[in-house]
Amino acid sequence: MKQQFIKTLRRLRLLPLAERVRLSLLIMQNYRSNRIFAKSISGFSFPPYDVAYDAYGSIDYETYYMNGRKAATFIYDILSEELPQKHIKICEWGCGPGRIIRHLPSIDSTKRLEVYGTDYNQKTIRWCKENIKVGDIEFSPNKLAPPLPFKSNFLDCLYSVSVYTHLSEEMHFAWLQENLRVVRPGGLILMTTHGDKSKNKLLHEEVDSYETGKLVVRGDVVEGTRSYCAFHSPSFMRNTFLKGLEIVLHDSSPDPVIAGPQDVWVVRKT
Protein backbone atom coordinates (compact mmCIF):
# COMPACT_ATOMS: atom_id res chain seq x y z
CA MET A 1 0.00 0.00 0.00
CA LYS A 2 2.80 2.40 0.88
CA GLN A 3 4.61 1.82 -2.40
CA GLN A 4 1.39 2.21 -4.38
CA PHE A 5 0.71 5.49 -2.59
CA ILE A 6 4.23 6.72 -3.38
CA LYS A 7 3.73 5.65 -7.01
CA THR A 8 0.57 7.77 -7.18
CA LEU A 9 2.34 10.78 -5.70
CA ARG A 10 5.18 10.29 -8.17
CA ARG A 11 2.79 10.10 -11.14
CA LEU A 12 0.92 13.24 -10.00
CA ARG A 13 4.22 15.09 -9.48
CA LEU A 14 3.34 15.53 -5.80
CA LEU A 15 6.24 13.56 -4.33
CA PRO A 16 8.50 16.64 -3.85
CA LEU A 17 5.69 18.33 -1.87
CA ALA A 18 5.26 15.22 0.28
CA GLU A 19 9.01 15.19 0.95
CA ARG A 20 8.90 18.81 2.11
CA VAL A 21 6.06 18.01 4.50
CA ARG A 22 7.96 15.03 5.89
CA LEU A 23 11.05 17.18 6.39
CA SER A 24 9.03 19.73 8.36
CA LEU A 25 7.72 16.98 10.64
CA LEU A 26 11.22 15.59 11.19
CA ILE A 27 12.53 19.03 12.11
CA MET A 28 9.93 19.31 14.84
CA GLN A 29 10.52 15.76 16.08
CA ASN A 30 14.31 16.09 16.23
CA TYR A 31 14.67 19.69 17.38
CA ARG A 32 15.32 19.03 21.08
CA SER A 33 17.51 15.92 20.71
CA ASN A 34 19.62 17.62 18.03
CA ARG A 35 20.25 20.64 20.24
CA ILE A 36 21.37 18.39 23.10
CA PHE A 37 23.67 16.29 20.92
CA ALA A 38 25.19 19.33 19.18
CA LYS A 39 26.21 20.74 22.56
CA SER A 40 27.94 17.47 23.43
CA ILE A 41 30.20 17.63 20.34
CA SER A 42 32.12 20.86 20.71
CA GLY A 43 33.30 22.50 17.49
CA PHE A 44 31.55 20.03 15.20
CA SER A 45 29.44 21.50 12.38
CA PHE A 46 26.22 19.78 11.37
CA PRO A 47 24.68 20.30 7.93
CA PRO A 48 21.50 22.30 7.29
CA TYR A 49 18.38 20.22 7.60
CA ASP A 50 17.37 20.43 3.93
CA VAL A 51 20.86 19.40 2.78
CA ALA A 52 21.02 16.46 5.20
CA TYR A 53 17.53 15.26 4.34
CA ASP A 54 18.14 15.37 0.59
CA ALA A 55 21.28 13.28 1.06
CA TYR A 56 20.22 10.78 3.73
CA GLY A 57 16.49 11.07 4.38
CA SER A 58 17.36 11.85 7.99
CA ILE A 59 18.24 14.95 10.00
CA ASP A 60 19.24 13.25 13.25
CA TYR A 61 22.59 14.68 14.42
CA GLU A 62 23.64 11.65 16.45
CA THR A 63 23.04 9.32 13.48
CA TYR A 64 24.98 11.65 11.19
CA TYR A 65 27.97 11.69 13.54
CA MET A 66 28.10 8.13 14.89
CA ASN A 67 27.09 6.24 11.76
CA GLY A 68 29.28 8.45 9.61
CA ARG A 69 32.38 7.49 11.55
CA LYS A 70 31.45 3.80 11.58
CA ALA A 71 30.79 3.85 7.84
CA ALA A 72 34.11 5.58 7.16
CA THR A 73 35.96 2.93 9.16
CA PHE A 74 34.11 0.09 7.42
CA ILE A 75 34.81 1.45 3.94
CA TYR A 76 38.44 2.26 4.70
CA ASP A 77 39.06 -1.22 6.11
CA ILE A 78 37.76 -2.81 2.90
CA LEU A 79 39.78 -0.58 0.61
CA SER A 80 43.02 -0.41 2.59
CA GLU A 81 43.24 -4.20 2.81
CA GLU A 82 43.66 -4.26 -0.98
CA LEU A 83 45.87 -1.13 -1.08
CA PRO A 84 49.03 -1.70 0.98
CA GLN A 85 50.90 1.48 -0.01
CA LYS A 86 51.52 4.22 2.56
CA HIS A 87 50.10 7.06 0.45
CA ILE A 88 46.50 6.58 -0.75
CA LYS A 89 44.51 8.95 -2.95
CA ILE A 90 40.86 8.35 -2.15
CA CYS A 91 37.72 10.05 -3.41
CA GLU A 92 34.10 9.95 -2.31
CA TRP A 93 31.99 10.60 -5.40
CA GLY A 94 28.64 11.92 -4.16
CA CYS A 95 29.97 12.93 -0.76
CA GLY A 96 26.84 14.84 0.25
CA PRO A 97 27.35 16.96 3.38
CA GLY A 98 30.36 14.94 4.52
CA ARG A 99 28.78 12.28 6.73
CA ILE A 100 31.52 9.76 5.87
CA ILE A 101 34.40 11.62 4.25
CA ARG A 102 35.03 14.03 7.13
CA HIS A 103 36.16 11.10 9.31
CA LEU A 104 38.68 9.59 6.87
CA PRO A 105 41.73 11.76 7.72
CA SER A 106 41.72 10.59 11.35
CA ILE A 107 41.17 6.86 10.75
CA ASP A 108 44.73 5.64 10.09
CA SER A 109 47.75 7.50 11.45
CA THR A 110 50.16 5.07 9.75
CA LYS A 111 49.25 6.17 6.23
CA ARG A 112 48.94 9.42 4.37
CA LEU A 113 45.45 9.82 2.97
CA GLU A 114 44.93 12.34 0.19
CA VAL A 115 41.17 12.83 0.34
CA TYR A 116 38.80 14.27 -2.27
CA GLY A 117 35.04 14.75 -2.22
CA THR A 118 32.71 15.60 -5.10
CA ASP A 119 28.96 16.08 -5.42
CA TYR A 120 26.54 17.45 -7.98
CA ASN A 121 24.63 19.42 -5.32
CA GLN A 122 26.32 22.82 -5.39
CA LYS A 123 24.83 23.85 -2.03
CA THR A 124 26.26 20.73 -0.43
CA ILE A 125 29.77 21.38 -1.76
CA ARG A 126 29.68 25.01 -0.63
CA TRP A 127 28.69 23.88 2.88
CA CYS A 128 31.46 21.26 2.98
CA LYS A 129 34.10 23.77 1.90
CA GLU A 130 33.00 26.26 4.55
CA ASN A 131 32.46 23.88 7.46
CA ILE A 132 34.64 20.77 7.15
CA LYS A 133 38.20 21.82 7.97
CA VAL A 134 39.88 18.50 8.79
CA GLY A 135 42.76 16.85 7.00
CA ASP A 136 42.80 19.22 4.04
CA ILE A 137 39.97 17.42 2.26
CA GLU A 138 39.54 18.91 -1.21
CA PHE A 139 35.90 19.38 -2.20
CA SER A 140 34.77 20.10 -5.75
CA PRO A 141 31.47 20.06 -7.66
CA ASN A 142 30.55 17.77 -10.49
CA LYS A 143 27.48 17.74 -12.72
CA LEU A 144 24.79 15.11 -13.15
CA ALA A 145 26.77 13.73 -16.09
CA PRO A 146 30.55 13.13 -16.20
CA PRO A 147 33.35 14.17 -16.02
CA LEU A 148 34.99 14.32 -12.61
CA PRO A 149 37.71 16.95 -12.04
CA PHE A 150 40.62 14.47 -12.07
CA LYS A 151 43.19 13.32 -14.59
CA SER A 152 43.03 9.76 -15.84
CA ASN A 153 44.52 7.15 -13.47
CA PHE A 154 44.80 9.77 -10.70
CA LEU A 155 43.12 7.96 -7.78
CA ASP A 156 43.95 4.76 -5.92
CA CYS A 157 40.32 4.24 -5.00
CA LEU A 158 36.91 5.81 -5.37
CA TYR A 159 33.78 4.99 -3.41
CA SER A 160 30.15 6.06 -3.72
CA VAL A 161 27.44 5.43 -1.15
CA SER A 162 23.87 5.37 -2.48
CA VAL A 163 24.73 7.29 -5.65
CA TYR A 164 23.98 4.75 -8.36
CA THR A 165 20.71 4.21 -6.49
CA HIS A 166 19.51 7.60 -7.78
CA LEU A 167 20.61 7.50 -11.42
CA SER A 168 19.05 6.51 -14.74
CA GLU A 169 20.36 3.52 -16.67
CA GLU A 170 22.15 5.82 -19.12
CA MET A 171 23.96 7.59 -16.28
CA HIS A 172 24.88 4.26 -14.68
CA PHE A 173 27.07 3.30 -17.60
CA ALA A 174 28.38 6.82 -18.19
CA TRP A 175 29.51 7.14 -14.59
CA LEU A 176 30.97 3.65 -14.35
CA GLN A 177 33.25 4.47 -17.28
CA GLU A 178 34.18 7.76 -15.62
CA ASN A 179 34.90 6.04 -12.30
CA LEU A 180 37.18 3.64 -14.17
CA ARG A 181 38.89 6.49 -16.00
CA VAL A 182 40.00 8.35 -12.87
CA VAL A 183 41.15 5.26 -10.93
CA ARG A 184 44.59 3.84 -11.71
CA PRO A 185 45.11 0.27 -12.94
CA GLY A 186 44.94 -2.00 -9.89
CA GLY A 187 42.84 0.57 -8.04
CA LEU A 188 39.45 -0.05 -6.48
CA ILE A 189 35.90 1.21 -6.92
CA LEU A 190 33.36 0.63 -4.14
CA MET A 191 29.65 1.26 -4.61
CA THR A 192 26.41 0.52 -2.77
CA THR A 193 23.17 -0.55 -4.48
CA HIS A 194 19.56 -1.47 -3.77
CA GLY A 195 19.79 -5.27 -3.90
CA ASP A 196 17.68 -8.15 -2.63
CA LYS A 197 17.10 -6.56 0.79
CA SER A 198 15.27 -3.73 -0.97
CA LYS A 199 13.21 -6.09 -3.08
CA ASN A 200 10.26 -5.81 -0.68
CA LYS A 201 9.87 -2.18 -1.81
CA LEU A 202 9.19 -3.19 -5.41
CA LEU A 203 5.74 -3.26 -6.95
CA HIS A 204 4.51 -6.44 -8.64
CA GLU A 205 5.29 -5.20 -12.13
CA GLU A 206 8.77 -4.13 -11.01
CA VAL A 207 9.63 -7.51 -9.48
CA ASP A 208 9.48 -9.23 -12.87
CA SER A 209 12.02 -6.81 -14.36
CA TYR A 210 14.24 -7.10 -11.30
CA GLU A 211 14.25 -10.90 -11.33
CA THR A 212 15.04 -11.08 -15.04
CA GLY A 213 18.21 -9.05 -14.52
CA LYS A 214 17.00 -5.61 -15.60
CA LEU A 215 17.65 -2.33 -13.81
CA VAL A 216 14.45 -1.01 -12.19
CA VAL A 217 14.23 2.79 -12.22
CA ARG A 218 11.57 5.04 -10.70
CA GLY A 219 11.64 8.48 -12.24
CA ASP A 220 9.11 11.30 -12.63
CA VAL A 221 11.26 13.43 -10.30
CA VAL A 222 14.60 15.18 -10.75
CA GLU A 223 17.35 12.65 -11.42
CA GLY A 224 19.97 12.48 -8.70
CA THR A 225 17.60 13.40 -5.87
CA ARG A 226 16.66 10.90 -3.16
CA SER A 227 13.19 10.33 -4.66
CA TYR A 228 14.68 9.12 -7.94
CA CYS A 229 15.33 5.43 -7.25
CA ALA A 230 17.11 2.56 -8.97
CA PHE A 231 17.11 -1.09 -7.89
CA HIS A 232 19.91 -3.50 -8.83
CA SER A 233 19.55 -7.28 -8.76
CA PRO A 234 22.77 -9.26 -8.31
CA SER A 235 22.10 -10.64 -11.80
CA PHE A 236 22.05 -7.14 -13.31
CA MET A 237 25.23 -6.20 -11.46
CA ARG A 238 27.23 -9.31 -12.40
CA ASN A 239 25.95 -9.99 -15.89
CA THR A 240 25.32 -6.49 -17.23
CA PHE A 241 26.64 -3.56 -15.23
CA LEU A 242 29.93 -4.99 -13.97
CA LYS A 243 30.37 -7.55 -16.74
CA GLY A 244 34.03 -8.03 -17.62
CA LEU A 245 35.31 -6.37 -14.43
CA GLU A 246 37.08 -8.11 -11.55
CA ILE A 247 34.63 -8.24 -8.66
CA VAL A 248 36.66 -8.19 -5.44
CA LEU A 249 33.68 -8.19 -3.06
CA HIS A 250 29.91 -8.48 -3.00
CA ASP A 251 28.46 -8.10 0.49
CA SER A 252 24.66 -8.40 0.59
CA SER A 253 24.51 -7.95 4.37
CA PRO A 254 26.99 -5.21 5.30
CA ASP A 255 26.77 -3.09 8.41
CA PRO A 256 23.61 -0.99 7.88
CA VAL A 257 25.38 2.17 9.05
CA ILE A 258 26.88 2.45 5.56
CA ALA A 259 23.67 2.94 3.61
CA GLY A 260 20.87 1.05 5.28
CA PRO A 261 19.92 -2.27 3.64
CA GLN A 262 22.07 -1.78 0.55
CA ASP A 263 24.58 -4.17 -1.04
CA VAL A 264 28.28 -3.32 -1.21
CA TRP A 265 30.23 -4.06 -4.39
CA VAL A 266 33.96 -3.59 -4.92
CA VAL A 267 35.64 -3.94 -8.32
CA ARG A 268 39.28 -3.64 -9.34
CA LYS A 269 40.41 -1.79 -12.43
CA THR A 270 42.69 -4.04 -14.44
Enter the DSSP assignment of 259: T
Q: Give the span between the Cα atoms of 9 and 17, in whole angstroms.
A: 9
Residue 256 binned pLDDT confidence (cut-offs 50, 70, 90): very high
Q: Are 30 and 59 in contact (CB under 8 A)?
A: yes
Residue 10 has pLDDT above 80, yes or no: no
Q: Give the span between the Cα atoms of 62 and 59, in whole angstroms.
A: 9
Q: In the chain, which residue ranges form alpha helices assigned H by DSSP?
A: 2-11, 15-40, 49-56, 61-82, 122-131, 169-182, 204-211, 234-236
Phi (first) and psi of residue 96, to 5 degrees:
55, -155
Give residue-wise pLDDT tens across range 134-172.
888 999 999 999 999 999 999 999 999 999 999 999 999
Residue 11 has pLDDT above 90, yes or no: no
- Cα–Cα distances (Å) from 246 to 50, 115, 184, in that order, read 38, 24, 14
- pLDDT for 201: 92
CATH number of residue 92's parent domain: 3.40.50.150
Q: Is 114 exposed, middle or buried (0-12, 13-18, 19+ CB in 10 A)?
A: middle
Quote the number of domains for the chain.
1
Residue 7 binned pLDDT confidence (cut-offs 50, 70, 90): confident
Q: Give the span between the Cα atoms of 220 and 18, in whole angstroms.
A: 14
- pLDDT for 4: 75
The residue type of 116 is: Y
Q: Give me the DSSP letters along 48-65.
A: -HHHHHHHHS---HHHHH
Q: Are 159 and 116 in contact (CB under 8 A)?
A: no
pTM to 2 decimal places: 0.93
Give residue-wise pLDDT tens across range 88-129.
999 999 999 999 999 999 999 999 999 999 999 999 999 999
Residue 25 has pLDDT above 90, yes or no: yes
Average pLDDT along the chain: 94
User: Span 228-245, mean pLDDT?
Assistant: 98
- pLDDT for 241: 98
Q: Give the span between the Cα atoms of 266 and 236, in whole angstroms.
A: 15
Give CA angle at 95 (97, 70), nearest 5°. 85
Q: Is 98 exposed, middle or buried (0-12, 13-18, 19+ CB in 10 A)?
A: buried
Residue 8 binned pLDDT confidence (cut-offs 50, 70, 90): confident
Give the domain extent around 109: 2-268
253: which residues sit within 8 A by CB, 6+ positions away? 197
User: Span 209-220, mean pLDDT?
Assistant: 95
Residue 217 has pLDDT above 90, yes or no: yes
Greater pLDDT, 163 or 16? 163
- pLDDT for 13: 78
